[in-house]
Amino acid sequence: MTLVEILVVIVIMGIVGAVVVLSVPPRQSSAERAARSFARAVPAYADLAIAGARPIGMTGGEGVTILTRRSNEWQPSRSEPLPPDVRLSLTPGGEILPPDPPSERTLIVYTPPGQEKAPPPPPPPVLFSPTGEVTPFEARFDGFGAAWTVTVDAFGETEVARAE
């Protein structure tokens, strides 16, 4: 084999290697995958509130917890876990929607002394209204070495960006 043949083989191998390296997509962090998946799910939560004709709440933490209102209290109805290295924090970015439309009727209930109930817990930080409105909020997904945010406006439009 001559020197020219060896150089041609090396050049061909270099070109093939460059094509393979450039065709492999960059690896997403688990925080980015979770943020993009969450952004795709937000319209489904809004649709669920509209279809059910009642508000739906959302909290964060170790995962996304969807709350529905039963017996005048917010109760978890579904929980979607996040990858173990990702933490979610929800920050409302606007006026929190009222959990129920205002009513002109007032219900007075007699409670015997000593049987008073504790006040109900506050509404969740994020509400999806049956009218299609959403509490504007920012969801921050923190993972190892990466943080991503999903910004949601009052109409449920989402924007995913790398957190600074």
pLDDT digits (tens, 9 = 90+) for 30-57: 888 889 999 999 998 889 899 988 889 9
Q: Give the structural domain span for 148.
A: 27-94+122-163
In a domain, 2, yes or no: no
| 70 lies in some domain | yes
Residue 108 has pLDDT above 80, yes or no: no
Structure tokens at 126: 């994020």
114 occurs within a structural domain:
no
Report if residue 58 sits inside a domain.
yes
Structural domains counted in the chain: 1
100 compared with 123, residue with greater pLDDT = 123
The answer to the question of residue 54 being in a domain is: yes
Q: Is 38 inside any structural domain?
A: yes
pLDDT at 99: 47
> At which residue do the structure tokens 């979770």 appear?
34
Q: What is the mean pLDDT of residues 86-91?
A: 87
pLDDT band, very low/low/confident/very high, at 62 (cuts 50, 70, 90): confident
In percent, how much of the chain has pLDDT > 90? 12
What's the rounded Cα separation, in Å, for the pair 140 and 144?
Answer: 13
CATH number for the domain harbouring residue 53: 3.55.40.10
Question: Region 154-162: what's the mean pLDDT?
Answer: 89
Provide the residue type at 89 as one letter. S
H/E element holding 136? none
Looking at residue 25, the DSSP 8-state letter turns out to be P
| Cβ neighbours of residue 95 closer than 8 Å, sequence gap 6 or more | 135
> Does residue 50 lie in a domain region?
yes
Separation of alpha carbons 139 and 144, rounded Å? 17
